[in-house]
Amino acid sequence: MSETAPPWLAPFDPVEAEAHLAAADPRLRLAGPDDAEALQALVLELASLEFSTVPARLAANLRAFFAAPGAAFVLLATHRSAPAGFVLVQRMPLPIDGGVQLWVDDLFVRPAARRRGLGAALLLGVQALGRLCDARYIYLHVRRDNAPARALYRQIGMDEAPDLICEWSLDG
């Protein structure tokens, strides 16, 4: 008897995943190792806009991410045939019943490509792949002062939960 991966670790069937993404929006694709350079450029752009430092090992971290299949995936969005945005999603178990939940770790669209529906397309792509892996919930964190993002999330049908997200940095 062979062991099968738990649902939060089972890889997507590439053909089925691409069909679900094409139905959600043809500008989306599941990122793979060949996209590491494009993803690195997008992450660097995000970091320059939102963070005070950029991880020194970003390129190595992205190579390791793609080399180790697991519970995370990245969707890329294109605008005028060039990578213009991404969403990084973690798949996690629901311990009580063994189901799956998704956590949107990062969502970014280049400023020059904003207001073209790419953010909504990326999230609807997450929803499509969530259905493919039988996820029950999709969660994300947004700053309270980020009104455009909050409006986008409401526009596509997400509800703002009354809960707060707490952080505890272990970086020193």
Does any domain span residue 6?
no
Domain contains 57:
no
Residue 134, domain member (yes or no): yes
Per-residue pLDDT at 28: 94
40 in a structural domain: no
Average pLDDT over residues 102-118: 93
* Residue 65, pLDDT score: 78
What is the pLDDT, as a whole number, of residue 2?
42
Q: What does the pLDDT average to over 25-52?
A: 87
Q: What is the mean pLDDT of residues 69-77?
A: 85
pLDDT at 69 over 70: no
User: What pLDDT does 172 receive?
Assistant: 60
Q: How do 99-109 and 135-140 pair as beta strands?
A: parallel
pLDDT above 90 (res 7): no
Amino acid in position 118? L
Number of domains in the chain: 1
- Among 72, 52, 50, which residue's Cα sits nearest to residue 61? 72
Instruction: Determine if the pTM surpasses 0.95.
Output: no
Whether residue 115 lies inside any domain: the answer is yes
Q: Residues 103-113: what's their mean pLDDT?
A: 93
**Does 120 reside within a domain?**
yes
Residue 133 belongs to some domain of the structure: yes
What percent of the chain has pLDDT above 90?
40
Query: In terms of residue numbers, what domain contains 122?
Result: 14-31+71-155
CATH (domain of 78): 3.40.630.30
Which 3 state secondary structure label does DSSP give 68?
coil
Is 52 inside a domain boundary? no
For the chain, the distance separating the N- and C-terminal CA atoms, rounded to the nearest angstrom, is: 46
- The H or E element spanning position 104 is strand 99-109
How high is the mean pLDDT of the chain?
86
